[in-house]
Structure 1
């Protein structure tokens, strides 16, 4: 075994011929020995302290130089350890990235998700483009993708929402709400549930409103129509007709008003039996055509235009 001190003395030329031959044999015996020798030689060549060390004490100088080399080797080992640690960290990071990439590519998200609105209204756009305007505190269970084996696009609602459906005649959109279902036929509609009572309003297009367990119990709702289901019975909601505006006026007063307002002349048809004191329900704030229409519909009084500002009045046949 060659000691470090012998290698350094070999480099410095202070060994005997026998010792030199021994070191030279060691150097030539392997490539690793030669690399170690070259390492010490480069250290010695670059050391500016060697001469100072030799001037004081040769043995002390060799000891100090050996310490320098050992410290250098330790630093080299630290650097090597840091390099290995860096490589290990890089490999670990790569595995983490591969793990997440695998999950993203190969592990699909759940087929259905649920969302509960915490705002006045949340807008959810489904994967097929259907828009859902979910009212506050309402919950929607919806599909995250459309599978090939789907027979319909089904969502489930608790609460209230407006649906703007992306129509697909081959894959109908259906909302399950309570014990009922709403199937779109190309539409925008609103539906809500209160206890067991389900209400639906068709805003645009057509929808089919049906009992979930018995689709024969159903009805088609046109634009503007409403219906309710109370746990067994399904019925349409009839909107009350608006109360007509107007007041009761004498026929003579209406004719006088038209004369002054529109500067029209009227005469009574020969066959007419107009009772000028009879009362008619009419809104005099409406345009001329509307007033004439009201007279026709409420009092059977008929106006016929005979010239630019001339009208002939008569009586319609009894309805």
Structure 2
């Protein structure tokens, strides 16, 4: 054991293998005279005259090791408060890594013994940046496509009775089949449970709607009630699209062509008789802008498909199809020196309005 490795642990920079090494050292070797020398070096550096003697330090360390290695774990827990009281007094003047390590071990006994397990199941997070899509392959072989601005949290390895992930945004899931361990997508209020299937989930935090579209296989849409019980909302069949409204709890279901719900993973933007408000929301999310729609053009709807088109090209094509005009508004400089999002106003084309009158 080295002083550098102990300091690395205290600063939370150890690998899982190094954590295992430190735990083994503490359980089996920390009371050896060679290990005490690590503390004595720093003690000589930090000690002050007439505060505490070397003999008292040595006695203190012996008492700590006695508590850690001789008594039963339950006894240590019962006497933790008294032990921590006199250790904390000594720690005020004994600034040594070994003592700090031992103090941390006593006060965080349960967490320490589970350090290695915690590292192995630590969750990861993948974020699809604005303007691009991301593909993630999970440890079970499942593949997830993430749409613009989406986040997926998942464990390095799936433990327990299910394979759980958390989604914010939109994801297209190709789930590896495992009848013994269902795959569960958590969106905050709604869970989508599957065994091995292909489906799409749209759950952006700013949207009032959470939707699920099943391509093949079978999924179950569930809701966690206030008492913790699970309520089945809908069991989907292929080509079925289900929407859940957050504020009302209303559920809508339909059988239709699913292409418009999943075309985004192939770089397509599909609108089928969608209002200009819906178009503006998708474009805002896709290009990280704020699009404001004037009430004078609310009635316009669009059926069109765009393939990897830039924002202003899309707006130009929309203005050709309907009598609208768009313009970029000046950005506002924030107090920290950054600028606000690009804002775009869509309004009725004034020339077209004049002709109508």
TM-score, length of structure 2 as denominator length: 0.37
TM-score, length of structure 1 as denominator length: 0.41
- The higher relative CO (CA closer than 8 Å, separation ≥ 6) is in 2
Structure ID, larger Rg: 1
